Structure formats: C-alpha cells, structure tokens
Amino acid sequence: MPVVDISASAEDFNTDPYPFYARLREAGPVHEVIASAAEFEPSWLVVGHEAARQALNHPALSKDWAGSGKFPDALATAANSNMLESDPPHHTRLRRLVAREFTARRMEAMRPRIQQITDELLDAMAARPERSADLIKSLAFPLPMTVICELLGVPDLDRERFRYWSNEVVAPTPGALDNNAHQHLSSYLAELVEAKAKAPGEDLLSALIRTRDEDGDSLSPDELIGMAFLLLVAGHETTVNLISNGVRALLAHPGQLAELRGDFDGLLDGAVEEMLRYDGPVQNSTFRFAREDLEIAGTAIPAGATVLVSLAGADRDPARFADADTFDIHRAPQGHLAFGHGLHFCIGAPLARMEGRIALRGLLERFPDLADDPAGGPPLWLPGSLMRGVSRLPVRW
C-alpha cells in the first residue's frame, strides 16, 4: 500500500481533516502516511476506532521518545520527565504519585471557584459596548488557564509568555524562528518549582513536592518540573479547544442549540460528550514507537516505526458510531477516545469536563442570542496534526 502524503494538502487538512480520515478509513484502519512536511520519516496512522483502542494500550508501543533512538540530536529537558513521555514501570510510579494528590475530591472542591471565574469573565464580555468578542481571548483561554494556575498554586504565572511557549510546543507556527520554546518553558517551570518549594501552600504543586509513597518514594526535581509542564500545558490547551470547538458545533446546529438551552439539566452532560467525540480538542496522539514487530488490526508494523493514533479519525468511525459525521447531542457517546484510552488516559478528564459544562452553560444562559461574528474575520485554524481547534473565534450577541 503506498504512503499517503497528507502534508500536500496541509491547509485543507487543518480546516477540515475529517474527509481525509474518512477516505483512509474506507481503505483500512491503519496506513503509512506523511502527516507534515517537517516529519523525519513516514508514520503509521491509526484511523479506525477499534484499532485505535488497541494501539493506545499496546504494550509494544513506547511513549519514551528519548529512548527510541529516533531523535539523536534532540536534547531532552526536565519538562520531558513526565507521565506522557514515559512507559511502565516509570510511568506507573509517576502516575501513582500524582494520583495520590490529583483526586476527584480536590477537583470537585474547585467547582465554586470555576463558576466564579466563569461568571467574572462573562460579566466582562457583557460589559463590552460593541457586543462582540473573540471567545478564545474572552473565555475559552482565560478560564482553564486561571483554573489550572490556581490549582497548581502559580497564580502569578506570566501568562502571555507561557501561552506563546505552550502554543509553540503543541502547535508550532510554520516557519517560526523560535525552536527553543520547550527549553524556555522548562527553565521557566524550574524557577516556579523552586519558588514553590521555598514557599509551599495548600495547592497541588506544593502537595506534589511534599508527597511520599508508602515506601518513601517521591518525585525528583526534574519530575516535578515535568509534572508542572504536563499539568499546565495539557490542563489548559485541551480545555480551550473543548470550549471553543463545542461552541462552534452548537452555532453550526441551531436546532440542537435551542434544545440544549431548553433543557440544560437533561442534555448538557451528553452534549459535552458529543462535542468531545464530534470535534475533540486533540486530533492525534503524540508519537508512539514500536519496540518490536507488531500487528494492529491486521497491519504489520515493523520494529522502530513511529505510530500516530488519530483520536479524531477514530471518533468518526461509522463502525463504532452510527451517522458518525452527524453532530447529535442526544447520542449515547460512551466509548469516545477524546481523552485517550488505557494507561495514558487523561488524568485531568474530570476537571476538563467540569470546566466545559460550567463554561458552556454560563455562556449560553448569559447570551441567548450568541452568534458567529463574520466581521471578526475567518477562523484561524491551529497548525499541525496534534491539536484541533481555532486560535480565534469571533462571536456577537
């Protein structure tokens, strides 16, 4: 089967990747592709739902890029010492230490504060005399950014610099000169962790610094930086896109928007799950590396190959979801892969869901005539194939 060059249609792909995934899925669940012009070699892209679940939890697929031998010139930083870029038993140890503090109780205790932050941001929107705004700047970014900063105990984070570095890590600007965003971010977080160690509080980062396992194990300084990196970046980037992609889907389906407004208590939770399935915040997983020859959905993948799992492609698979390309807030969406699957399932999923539900309900209740604002310009799609969303979302009311 020939290698599929998706990068040749990068602009169309960024705007709407789903037809590309559909064409691939029709030919089979796993394909060798070139996803971007910057890729060092073709990757194996998994687009079928069942195949994706298999790949996301396959013991022969490693997340440890530093140990893969694929990037001999790349320098790992302390920020790379995180759960997402590690395998068992190291991953098991890190997740256990974090899970001791990243509890449902701690997340639920954030609910009143999340509501308060949402209300304050919506107040500021409502006070705008022009009755229009960029929803990313006004709500979708500042809400999760404020929440994760307060949860970790770093409310004084230089958000503009952090936002730039974070964006360059997850969706690098094509042709950008700053190839050191990861290094800048790692150095910045090292200073944050050091300051927090000297002046601890009741926040999550202080708890992670203090935490000890039953056998006395604790996170090393580099692991604390890696954990701060993962929680801060993943803790806001994905939720920004959950909120903005969800609003885009609702505005494009006014009938369902009206139904949701009429029954938030009955429909909101399912609507958020459908937003995650239909146009989720993470388009493709980060790279996995084949430690040995293996097979996924009948396709042989050689040792040393890189594998990408398309969460977006899998969640539009008609073999798993009837009328998969149809947005339907009444759908029973159990089984979507927006938060991953298996041992790397997103530890922050309950927090993201809570923020999404509070933000969307508050926005729709406050602005009953919310609409797209064509005067704000066309959508600016995030580049690359990792994240799915826009960097600008003009709305009016």
Find which of 183-187, 213-217, 266-270 is predicted with most confidence, using mean pLDDT. Answer: 266-270
Residue of 332 and 295 predicted with greater confidence: 295
Peptide linkage before 89 cis (omega within 30 of 0): yes
Q: What CATH code is carried by the domain that includes residue 72?
A: 1.10.630.10
Which range has the worst mean pLDDT, 73-77, 196-200, 257-261, 341-345?
A: 73-77
Residue of 101 and 296 predicted with greater confidence: 296
Per-residue pLDDT, averaged over 55-70, amounts to: 89
pLDDT of residue 252: 97
Per-residue pLDDT, averaged over 39-46, amounts to: 82
Query: How many percent of the chain have pLDDT more than 70?
Result: 93
Residues of the domain holding 128: 4-396
DSSP 87-153: -TTHHHHHHHHHHTTS-HHHHHTTHHHHHHHHHHHHHHHHT-TTSEEEHIIIIITHHHHHHHHHHHT
pLDDT of residue 6: 67
CA distances from 112 to 102, 117, 232, 364 (A): 18, 9, 20, 19
Residue 13 has pLDDT above 90, yes or no: no
Residue 214 has pLDDT above 80, yes or no: no
pLDDT of residue 180: 81
pLDDT of residue 38: 55
| Confidence grade of residue 216 (pLDDT, cut at 50, 70, 90) | confident
Per-residue pLDDT, averaged over 290-315, amounts to: 96
End-to-end CA distance of the chain: 51
| Confidence grade of residue 232 (pLDDT, cut at 50, 70, 90) | confident
Per-residue pLDDT, averaged over 90-102, amounts to: 89
Strands (E), the chain: 4-5, 30-34, 43-46, 61-62, 132-134, 288-290, 294-296, 299-301, 306-309, 371-372, 394-396
Residue 271 has pLDDT above 80, yes or no: yes
Residue of 214 and 196 predicted with greater confidence: 196
pLDDT of residue 334: 76
Q: For the segment 130-181, what is each residue's pLDDT rounded down to a tens digit?
A: 999 999 999 999 999 999 988 888 877 887 888 888 888 887 877 655 568 8
pLDDT of residue 62: 96
Per-residue pLDDT, averaged over 94-117, amounts to: 91
Residue 88 has pLDDT above 80, yes or no: yes
Tokens of 61: 């697929």
| Confidence grade of residue 212 (pLDDT, cut at 50, 70, 90) | confident
Cα torsion 223, 224, 228, 230 to 10°: value is: 20
**How many domains, in total, are found in the chain?**
1
Residue of 334 and 263 predicted with greater confidence: 263
pLDDT of residue 160: 81
pLDDT of residue 231: 87
| Confidence grade of residue 301 (pLDDT, cut at 50, 70, 90) | very high
pLDDT of residue 192: 85
pLDDT of residue 293: 97
| Confidence grade of residue 11 (pLDDT, cut at 50, 70, 90) | confident
Instruction: Tell me the C-alpha distance between 128 and 299, whole Å.
Output: 55
pLDDT of residue 39: 58
Residue 393 has pLDDT above 60, yes or no: yes
Which range has the worst mean pLDDT, 110-124, 289-303, 325-339?
A: 325-339
Query: How many percent of the chain have pLDDT more than 90?
Result: 61
